[in-house]
Amino acid sequence: MTDKPPVLDFATDFDHTDPEWVSDPYPIWEDLRQRCPVAHTDRFGGAWFPATHAGVSAIAKDTVNFTSRDVIVHEGRPTEEDLPAPIGLAPPITSDPPFHQIARKLILPAFSPGVVNALEPQIRALCNSLLDDIITEGVVNASMNYARLIPPSVIREMLGFPAEDMDIFIRCVHVITESIDRPEEERIELFAPVEEYFRTKIEEHMENPRDDLTSFLLNAEINGEKLAVEHVFGTMVLILVAGIDTTWGAIGASLWHLAQHPDDLARLVNEPDLMPVAIEEFLRFYAPVTMARLVKADMDYLGCPMKEYDWILLGFPAANRDPVVFKDADKFIIDRAENRHVAFGLGIHRCIGSNLARLELRVAIEEFIKRYPKFELENKDDVTWAQGQIRGPRNLPLRILS
């Protein structure tokens, strides 16, 4: 990491990788909503950040003026040559209409509530086996040793990759999620062993199809033609990139909250029926995912002089804290009944994995608090947060209380 100058004013020079934003972005966003609802920065080659629900919602739903061809803000202003075709690198997340809908419909059935809900018993068993593996000296790293391990295991099972490959699989996932914003050459090199592993598994499935996500993708068709192996691999990469750090972040942040709010923890322990409503409030309050868009052409939008290929940092987490839409927006209300949060996005790119993410989050919290009905932060200052567009605690030592 190069040293960047510190941010003096987030309204005119924001940086979502700034340590202040990484550790506690909420006061920054509240301040922006009050004095400058669309912030700007010259960093990253030029970017805008709407801090209100109205701004985020308008842009998320506007595929005429904004493109998804790159959804991760990085250094340097993109040019037409750097950008993939409108189909995108990782359809459907980087695709625009009309191709987006084709790529999306292809994978939606694999993540529909009916398919996903059937996974509940196996996710519960997984959480319990992870909890069994944790040997406590009174302190549990609930992020590294629990939340982090749940999403990859669930996806490995969905893909139909063998349980004994867990370590290889986690290493692959690590390479994929950590290298996704590296320069292309570096990424190709890092990806080589991962691609080889996935290719072997895909070939095994081609010879011997079964009832899992890999065979589902191999059977899927666009215009009557089966997907190329590259497309199947690309879709798997997207599912891993989109489905792992995100859900890890949501589980971790929820446990971080409970560690500091014994009243909320006690209510969940005593009133298990509250869980579905509480999950939505965890998702609202600690929404982990911020996305990006690019401006398609010079225009005035939300009162701002936007230029072609300016970045838009699309803060669903900020929208979720907007008092115009949420009563007592800055309060965590565990039984909040009306909660139109946008943690999973809005409009055509709505998270395909939302049903799965909700299930993992609910079961992970249920099993953790069943095992450990009382816990607190071991040391507030030891907690670190992931930097970038996916937010969640990385180090989360919890002291188990009796």
Partner 1 sequence: MGGNVKVVIDADLCQGQGRCFSIAPSIFNFDDLGNGFVIGDGELSPETIDLARLAQANCPEHAIFIEESS
**Contact status: 291 vs ligand HEM (CB under 6 A):** yes
Binding flags for ligand HEM, 148-167, as an x/- string (CB under 6 A): -------x------------
Tell me the per-residue interface mask from 332 to 371 with partner 1, x by CB under 8 A, - otherwise.
-----xxxxxx-x-xxx-x---xx--x-------------
Assess 96 for contact with partner 1 (CB under 8 A): no
Rule CB under 8 A: say whether 273 interacts with partner 1. Answer: no
Q: Which is nearer to ligand HEM, 202 or 213 (CB)?
A: 213
Q: Does 5 bind partner 1 (CB under 8 A)?
A: no
Tokens of 10: 């987030």
Judged by CB under 8 A, the stretch of 78-86, 297-305, 331-339, 392-400 that binds partner 1 is: 331-339
Considering only 243, 315, 393, 397, the residue that binds ligand HEM (CB under 6 A) is 243
What gap in Å lies between CA 248 and CA 156, rounded to an integer?
15
Total residues at the site for partner 1 (CB under 8 A)? 23
Which entry of ligand HEM, partner 1, none binds 243, CB below 5 to 8 A by partner kind? Answer: ligand HEM
Q: How far is 310 from 294, CA to CA, in rounded Å?
A: 6
State yes or no: residue 68 binds ligand HEM (CB under 6 A): yes
What, of partner 1, ligand HEM, none, does residue 337 touch, CB below 5 to 8 Å by kind? partner 1
Interface residues for partner 1 in 51-90 (CB under 8 A)? none
Nearer to partner 1, 210 or 350 (CB): 350
Q: Tell the smallest beta-carbon distance from residue 239 to partner 1 (Å).
A: 15
Our CB check for partner 1 shows the closer of 63 and 177 to be 63
Q: Which residue is nearest to ligand HEM (CB)?
A: 353
Q: Quick check: 317 binds ligand HEM (CB under 6 A)? A: no
What's the chain look like in SS3?
A: CCCCCCCCCHHHHCCCCCHHHHHCCHHHHHHHHHHCCEEEECHHHCEEEECCHHHHHHHHCCCCCEECCCCCCCCCCCCCCCCCCCCCCCCCCCCCCCHHHHHHHHHHHHHCHHHHHCCHHHHHHHHHHHHHHCCCCCEEECCCCCHHHHHHHHHHHHHCCCHHHHHHHHHHHHHHHHHCCCCHHHHHHHHHHHHHHHHHHHHHHHHCCCCCHHHHHHHCEECCEECCHHHHHHHHHHHHHHHCHHHHHHHHHHHHHHHHCHHHHHHHHHCHHHHHHHHHHHHHHCCCECEEEEECCCEEECCEEECCCCEEEECHHHHCCCCCCCCCCCCCCCCCCCCCCCCCCCHHHCCCCHHHHHHHHHHHHHHHHHHCCCEEECCHHHCEECCCCECCEEECEEEECC
352 binds ligand HEM (CB under 6 A): yes
Residue from 28, 59, 71, 110 touching ligand HEM (CB under 6 A): that is: 71
Contact residues: ligand HEM, CB under 6 A: 60, 68, 71, 92-93, 104, 155, 238-239, 242-243, 246-247, 250, 287-289, 291, 316, 343-345, 349, 351-353, 356-357
Contact residues: partner 1, CB under 8 A: 105, 108-109, 111-114, 276, 280, 337-342, 344, 346-348, 350, 354-355, 358
